[in-house]
Amino acid sequence: MEDCLAVAASADDNAGRVVDWLREPGESDDALLMYCSAQTVLDAAVVAHHPRMQGRSSPADLTGEPGPPPAEGMYYRHWEHDDIFHKAPAHYGYRTARYEIICFHNDGMGVPGTGVSAYGGQWEPYDLEADPAEPRNVYHDPDYLGV
């Protein structure tokens, strides 16, 4: 976790350096600083996206104009299995406002830079309303079978 926070801090520091540079007289007149997904970048550049692209564009969120409704949840994936920087197992998950389910498949699948070890998979569902810090895996709890 320390490594992940260090990466986020570095990204924040460097974004701040760009903002400081843009604030210099005349530099920001025609600038658009974006830290976002490809769909949003394409919309801002008025370029059509490929029909197979997934995701939701967010310029309307920034301007207050009507736009597409937000997604119910989000899918994510961590590929860098047991790499020297993150030391986190490879996994993917889906998260909504209330629930998150994570599948630790624990295999770098031969991707360069990942750890060489592979071990059995594990599912970890969490109720974020009842357990926001996520220490309680509800996988074996019968109350969550319908979720």
List the domain boundaries for the chain.
Answer: 2-60, 73-144
The answer to whether residues 58 and 40 touch, using CB atoms and an 8 Å cutoff, is yes
Residue range 40-78, pLDDT digits in tens: 777 777 888 888 877 777 777 777 888 777 778 888 888
Question: What is the distance between the terminal CA atoms of the chain, rounded to a whole angstrom?
Answer: 28
How long, in residues, is the chain? 147
Calculate mean pLDDT across residues 122-136. Answer: 95
The pTM score is 0.60
Calculate mean pLDDT across residues 121-139. Answer: 95
Q: What is the DSSP letter of 9?
A: H
| pLDDT of amino acid 2 | 64
- The CATH code for residues 73-144 is 3.30.1120
Calculate mean pLDDT across residues 75-90. Answer: 83
Helix (H, G, I), strand (E, B) or coil at 63: helix
The answer to whether residues 31 and 38 touch, using CB atoms and an 8 Å cutoff, is no
